[in-house]
Amino acid sequence: MNYIWEAVGRQPPGQQPSGAETIQKLCDRVASSTLLEDRRDAVRAIKSLSKKYRVEVGTMAMDHLLRILQSDRTDTEILGYALDTLYNIVCSDEEEEPEENQQKQEDDLGARFTEEFIGEPDNITLLLTLLEEFDFHVRWRGVKLLTVLLKSQCAPVQSIVLVSPMGVSRLMDLLADSREVIRNDGLLLLQQLTKGNTAIQKIVAFENAFERLLEIITEEGSSDGGIVVEDCLLLLLNLLKNNSSNQNFFKEGSYIQKMKPWFEVGDDNSGWSAQKVTNLHLMLQLVRVMVSPVNSPGATASCQKAMFQCGLLQQLCTILMATGVPADILTETINTVSEVIRGSEVNQDYFASVNAPSNPPRPAIVVLLMSMVNERQPFVLRCAVLYCFQCFLYKNHKGQGEIVATLLPSTIDASSMSAGQLLCGGLFSADSLSNWCAAVALAHALQDNLTQKEQLLRVQLATSLGKPPVSLLQQSTNILSQGSHVQTKVGLLMLLCTWISNCPIAVMHFLHNQDNVPFVSFYLHTHTYTHTLSHTHTHSLTHAQTFLIIIIFQDSQMNRTWYIWKCLFGVQQKAEATPSAEGSTSDATELQKEVELLRAQLQSQSAEIAQLQREKHQLLRGSDTTVSAAAAGDDAVRSELESRLSAQTLKEQVQALLESKELMEKELSSATSSAAIMQTEKSKLQQELQESKKEQDDLLMLLADQDQKILSLKHRLEDLGETIEDEDDLDARDQFDDDDDEEEEECDE
């Protein structure tokens, strides 16, 4: 034994060997000693130096230690020393907090020695074999070593374990170990082993993992348990998330029913520990994994049904309405309930029947909406309520009708707060987030439901004393045009897009106010050509553009207007991209000037059309005084007049003109003099409309010429080496009526 003590430093001062020399001597003794006791002492000495001289031990001793694991299997003490030493080599010191640069060096060393260790797959197989050893020191240290190898090189180690005979089964045996330290560290090992590997996840699940993990959770106290419960839940999440096979196995094994006791909380919910909050949060995540919208619809529906039948949904709703529940748990519970009821008629009906324990009782939906429009509530909680409302109404026409009904005059109950009143209050409050949440929530009440879109048009709002009420639709557009917060505008645009989409009556109501479309067009035009758009402005712009498209494509009389705007929009987008190109500054600047000229010409044309509209309205107002008793006219005359009207004339103006024409026809039957006057005025108006149409045709030709110039400049930029993204410039054939085909071909050319 004297040579060992001499090697580790018991020599006279000035004669002590270096660390590397000492380790080399110890390695020689391990290799050459015939006595097990001498090898054990040498390995123990190497272990004591392995943290201080990590590089030297890893470089010189690793092969010797692996041979010890193979040759000295009968001596558990030397096996424990060897496993401890290997662990110290591949793992950074967890007891110290090194500086950032030092930590990086430590991690690099760990990765280097891990690669050397797993470079020979038999080393992992050997380690798995040692885990069958019952001795505490061997088994526990083997678990720790394999865990750190997985942390450092997860995928390669997983591949080796997967092909090792009974490899996963040996690791699953750790959960049955009566020694809690080994069982608990076995949980950590299985967490690392199952990360992102579907094949291993399936094997672990079929090795009875669900049954054993749920037993451990119960034994440890469920949500009141400690860190072990957390580790079990994390392992369950690994096994179930994005793994449809394991999810089906979990459901078919009736394990969903065993989750219900987790959520049995008492009346006193004060003083929750941080660990309990963590545990319950993970439990809620497990429920969400089983009913996630990304799962197949059939699997989700089956799990939703099971959760209702076993009372799990009811238990979650109890937590939802309980007092004293921490805010983050309440938020996650709302999200969980949302996905349990999403698209499930039975679950949605049950949720609609849930009442809060208040006096008098209030529906849970109303209580949640009160939180959503309350600016003092946390942002994530308000968003969770909005998501819950969305899921409640998803594919739920009955629920949509019930929400809209609370807004209708015949069903409003002044004595109680309803969902509709809360949404209206939030829609027009001073808090922009409440505006957005209420607008989006109301949009979901209309989604894919034509009946409710038409019903909501009946809603009238009293804006101020002494003034007549206005419709909800008009008040929404009024606020949109009043310079509101961008968040408010985005919400209102989302609501209006949903409302008027595939609803011609709503479009007619919107166009009844002649200022609506010009405002949306102006808003779209103004924000399109701002080069530095924020994320929120981009969403607002997108919805404004979508909004305008919906209007136009539901009104064939506006097709040509959409055409003049689309041409300019395409030209402007080309010019917007050009100034950033290198080496073509002068050409790009010229292109921008041409675009500005086009814009000026378009504004001039718009002014002329506006003047024509004003003259026409003056004429119509004069006509109203003389033909107030007139009635409906001849359909053939009305059709002829309608066909002659300019596409630039708004639908409301066309309707007003038709009404005046009908009144004029009625007057013709009773007063020849009045008929002569009206005929003269009608001829004048038709002449003016023809002149306007001719001016529009000239403008279209001008736009086509300018588009050709733009195309030429684009080719010049390409010749200069610039990359210009292709885009569908005009592609108008599918957008216009047959009577506009000739104009489309001219623009395309």
Residue 735 has a pLDDT of 43
Amino acid residing at 400: Q
Residue 363: helix, strand or coil by DSSP?
A: strand
pLDDT in tens, 275-312: 999 999 999 999 999 999 999 999 999 999 999 999 99
Strand positions, DSSP E, 415-467? 460-461
Indicate the pLDDT class of residue 417, thresholds 50, 70 and 90: confident
Q: Answer for the pair 557, 647: CB distance below 8 angstroms, yes or no.
A: yes
Helix (H) or strand (E) holding 275: helix 274-290
What is the Cα–Cα distance from 708 to 714, expressed in whole angstroms? 10
CA distances from 703 to 242, 545, 576, 595 (A): 53, 21, 18, 10
Indicate the pLDDT class of residue 566, thresholds 50, 70 and 90: very low
Average the pLDDT over each of 117-121, 327-331, 539-543 and give the range with the smallest value. Answer: 539-543
pLDDT in tens, 310-344: 999 999 999 999 888 999 999 999 999 999 999 99
Q: 262: which 2 tokens? A: 């987790």
Amino acid residing at 352: A
Residue 574 has a pLDDT of 47
- The domain segmentation of the chain, as residue ranges, is 16-194, 208-353, 400-529+538-558, 583-720
- To the nearest 10°, report the CA torsion of 735, 737, 739, 743: -10
What is the Cα–Cα distance from 749 to 735, expressed in whole angstroms? 17
Q: Answer for the pair 192, 237: CB distance below 8 angstroms, yes or no.
A: no
Peptide bond into 360 cis (omega under 30): yes
Based on DSSP, count helices (H) and strands (E) in the chain, helices before strands.
37, 4
Amino acid residing at 684: K
Q: Is the pLDDT at 730 greater than 50, yes or no?
A: no
Q: Which residues pair with 460 in a beta bridge?
A: 471
What is the Cα–Cα distance from 45 to 8, expressed in whole angstroms? 7
Indicate the pLDDT class of residue 692, thresholds 50, 70 and 90: confident
Residue 675: helix, strand or coil by DSSP?
A: helix
pLDDT in tens, 502-514: 898 998 888 887 7
Residue 323 has a pLDDT of 86
Residue 465 has a pLDDT of 73
Instruction: Tell me the mean pLDDT in the region 342-349.
Output: 97
Residue 548 has a pLDDT of 54
Residue 550 has a pLDDT of 57
CATH number of 208-353: 1.25.10.10
What is the Cα–Cα distance from 326 to 223, expressed in whole angstroms? 14
Q: Is the pLDDT at 647 greater than 50, yes or no?
A: no
∠ Cα 499 501 504 (to 5°): 95
What is the Cα–Cα distance from 510 to 502, expressed in whole angstroms? 13
pLDDT in tens, 135-147: 999 999 999 999 9
What is the Cα–Cα distance from 456 to 406, expressed in whole angstroms? 10
Mean pLDDT of the chain: 79
Residue 732 has a pLDDT of 36
Q: Is the dihedral of CA 523, 529, 531, 535 positive or negative?
A: positive
Cα end-to-end span (Å), the chain: 99
Q: Is the pLDDT at 55 greater than 50, yes or no?
A: yes
pLDDT in tens, 418-444: 999 999 999 999 999 999 999 999 999
Phi, psi of 460 (to 5 degrees): -115, 140
Q: Given 3.40.50.10800, 1.25.10.10, 3.40.47.10, 3.40.190.10, which CATH number is that of 16-194? A: 1.25.10.10
**Chain-centre distance of CA 583, in angstroms?**
40
Indicate the pLDDT class of residue 686, thresholds 50, 70 and 90: confident
Nearest by Cα to 16 from 2, 5, 31, 32: 5
Residue 684: helix, strand or coil by DSSP?
A: helix
Q: Answer for the pair 42, 26: CB distance below 8 angstroms, yes or no.
A: yes
Indicate the pLDDT class of residue 703, thresholds 50, 70 and 90: confident
Residue 485 has a pLDDT of 85
**Chain-centre distance of CA 619, in angstroms?**
54
Indicate the pLDDT class of residue 569, thresholds 50, 70 and 90: very low
Q: Is the dihedral of CA 110, 112, 115, 120 positive or negative?
A: negative
What is the Cα–Cα distance from 252 to 496, expressed in whole angstroms? 45
pLDDT in tens, 150-204: 999 999 999 999 999 888 999 999 999 999 999 999 999 999 999 999 999 999 9
Average the pLDDT over each of 213-217, 473-477, 662-666, 695-699 and give the range with the smallest value. Answer: 662-666
Residue 240 has a pLDDT of 97
Q: Is the pLDDT at 547 greater than 50, yes or no?
A: yes
Q: Which is more confident, 567 or 323?
A: 323
pLDDT in tens, 246-281: 999 999 999 999 999 999 876 666 778 999 999 999
Instruction: Tell me the mean pLDDT in the region 508-528.
Output: 69
Equal fold, 16-194 vs 208-353: yes
Q: Answer for the pair 61, 27: CB distance below 8 angstroms, yes or no.
A: yes
Instruction: Tell me the mean pLDDT in the region 483-508.
Output: 87
Indicate the pLDDT class of residue 533, thresholds 50, 70 and 90: very low
Residue 464 has a pLDDT of 73
Indicate the pLDDT class of residue 717, thresholds 50, 70 and 90: confident
Q: Is the pLDDT at 556 greater than 70, yes or no?
A: no
Fold of 400-529+538-558: Leucine-rich Repeat Variant (1.25.10)
Q: Which is more confident, 22 or 554?
A: 22
Q: Is the pLDDT at 528 greater than 80, yes or no?
A: no
Q: Kindly give the residue spans of alpha helices, DSSP state H, lying in 51-166.
A: 54-71, 76-90, 100-118, 121-130, 136-152, 154-163
Instruction: Tell me the mean pLDDT in the region 483-501.
Output: 87
Residue 229 has a pLDDT of 97
